Structure formats: structure tokens, C-alpha cells
Amino acid sequence: MGGGSAVTLLDVVILAVIQGLCEVLPLGASGHLALLPQLAGTADERAAVAAAAHAGIIVALMLYFWRDMAAMAVGLWKLVKGRIDPGAHLFLQLLIGSLPALLLGWAFARMGGGFGGMGTAAAAMAVFGLFLLVADRLGMTVRRMEHMSYFGAFAIGVLQAASLIPGVSRTGITITAVRLMGYERVAAVRFSLLLAIPAFAGHALFSVWKLSRESELLFSSDLAVAAAAAGLMALIGVAAMMAWVRRADFAPFAVWRLLLGGGMLAWLAWGG
């Protein structure tokens, strides 16, 4: 990182590993990181590591979903020629679904807003973990990706903006919404993580732009390590989750959120 910084390589790796796993799993990276307020030095250092981690996660998701990426590339070419195939349809869904969260996130960041600290993150982790559990139990499993409408993609994009609150989890809230709409678990994960690519790209680009205005950007080996570690963990995480939801439900993720969030609320209530 920057010269003279107190941040250690271990701090960077821990932050990147947490971000890589929790961003692709419905756990919430911001919520988990809020429980470690002293990790990775200053706010600028954390933002730089987060941007590098998001870059690594984007590469991991593009590699895992390479068939969808290729289909969208071909579909975009056909769309330019006035034809819409399934790849173009998916591209338009992701574009429509990305706009609300990107615009709301940009506006909120420009206002310099924040949603509290550890208490907010713990409460959101527990509450939205419960929502995930209920949605997964109540949601039917009758729709697949090809049934997604543009309005549905837009509605999911609006709900995605709730992930600005630490602990909500971008992946968690979008999976919750897609499951409530009656989509299969695999389809819910697939659409959620494809929708994550532009969201993470927007967040990373905004972070780099903001950091470049406040200080000189330093691209160090630490940031390369952060990108590699986050990307590797994201690839492992998404592969494991896709294998899991083909035969089971989201209950383990919801229970983890309830236990961790509830435990942190109890600890704070008792003067922790």
C-alpha cells in the first residue's frame, strides 16, 4: 500500500478473503467487515483494498459464468443489428437491473451518507437473514432464468440498493427477491451474481475516482495480492454455493447471519 502505512499484508489478505467470500455468498461483506473496524488501517486504505478485491471478484465471476458472458457478447452484436436473442435479452435484463442501484448508490455516495456502525450491521445481518430464510421457504420453484421479465429485473435492481446498508448483503437481498418471485435456487444465484458484475464494477470505479481526487493513487503489490486473494475466494465460494443449492436450500447462510447478527446485538447490549 502507501509508503509508511501501518497496514500489514496480513490485514490486506484477511480483508480480501472476507470480501471475496461474503460478496458472492448471501452473507454481506460490509456487515462482516463492520465487525472488524480496526482492520486494514485508514478509510482510504480500506477503500483501495476493497476496490482491488472487487476487481478480483469481477474476474472470478466472469470466469465462472463464461458461457453467459460469451452469450451476451454475441447477443450484443446481434442487438446492434436489430435482432434480440437470449444473450441480448440477458444483457438488457442486467442493464435494466443495474441502473437503479448504480444511480442510487452514486447519489448516496455523493452525499457522503452512512448507515451507522456495528449495531446497524448486526441488526441488518439478522433481519435480512431471516428474510432470506422465509423467502427461500415460501418461494415457489417454478421459474427459470428465461422467464425473467424486464420489470422483474428492474424491481430486483431497486431492491439491490438496500445493500447500501451494512449487513444487508447485495447477494442476499437479490437472492431473496428472486426466490420470492418463484425462481429456482440455481437461477436465483446465477441472476444475482451476474447482476453483481456491473454493481461491483461501478463501486470499484467510483472508489478509484474518489481516491484519485483525495490523494495520489498507489498501485502496489498489496493491491495485487488483494485482487488475487479475493478472486480466488470468490471463485471457490460461487462454485461451492452453486453445487450446494442444486441439492439443498439457503438455510445455512440464513442461520449464520441470524447467529452472528443476534450474537453481536447481544454483545453490544451487554456493553461490549
Query: Confidence band (pLDDT; 50, 70, 90) for 71?
Result: very high
**Residue 186 burial class via C-beta count within 10 angstroms: exposed 0-12, middle 13-18, buried 19 and up:** middle
Q: What is the pLDDT of residue 216?
A: 55
pLDDT in tens, 181-238: 999 999 999 999 999 999 899 888 877 777 776 665 556 788 899 999 999 999 999 9
pLDDT in tens, 77-91: 988 888 889 999 999
DSSP 85-130: -HHHHHHHHHHHHHHHHHHHHHHHHHTT----SHHHHHHHHHHHHH
Contact criterion met (CB below 8 Å) for 173 and 163: yes
CA distance 219 to 129: 36
Looking up cell 493491491, which residue turns up? 223
Question: Which has more pLDDT, 68 or 114?
Answer: 68
Residues in the chain: 272
Looking up cell 509508511, which residue turns up? 4
Indicate if the pLDDT at residue 137 is higher than 70. yes
How much is the pTM? 0.89
Please, what is the end-to-end C-alpha distance for the chain in angstroms? 32
Closest CA to 132 of 163, 104, 100: 163
Query: Confidence band (pLDDT; 50, 70, 90) for 2?
Result: very low
Q: What is the pLDDT of residue 144?
A: 84
Q: What is the pLDDT of residue 220?
A: 74
**Residue 52 burial class via C-beta count within 10 angstroms: exposed 0-12, middle 13-18, buried 19 and up:** buried
Query: Confidence band (pLDDT; 50, 70, 90) for 38?
Result: low
Q: What is the pLDDT of residue 22?
A: 93
Q: What is the pLDDT of residue 272?
A: 57
Indicate if the pLDDT at residue 3 is higher than 50. no
Angle, vertex CA 219, rays to CA 207 and CA 106, nearest 5: 5
Q: Percent of the chain having pLDDT more than 70?
A: 88
CA distance 36 to 42: 13
Q: What is the pLDDT of residue 214?
A: 63
Summarize the confidence of residues 237-254 as an average pLDDT: 95
CA distance 205 to 102: 11
Q: Which residues pair with 143 in a beta bridge?
A: 183
Contact criterion met (CB below 8 Å) for 54 and 85: no
DSSP state of 82: T
What is the residue-averaged pLDDT of the chain? 86
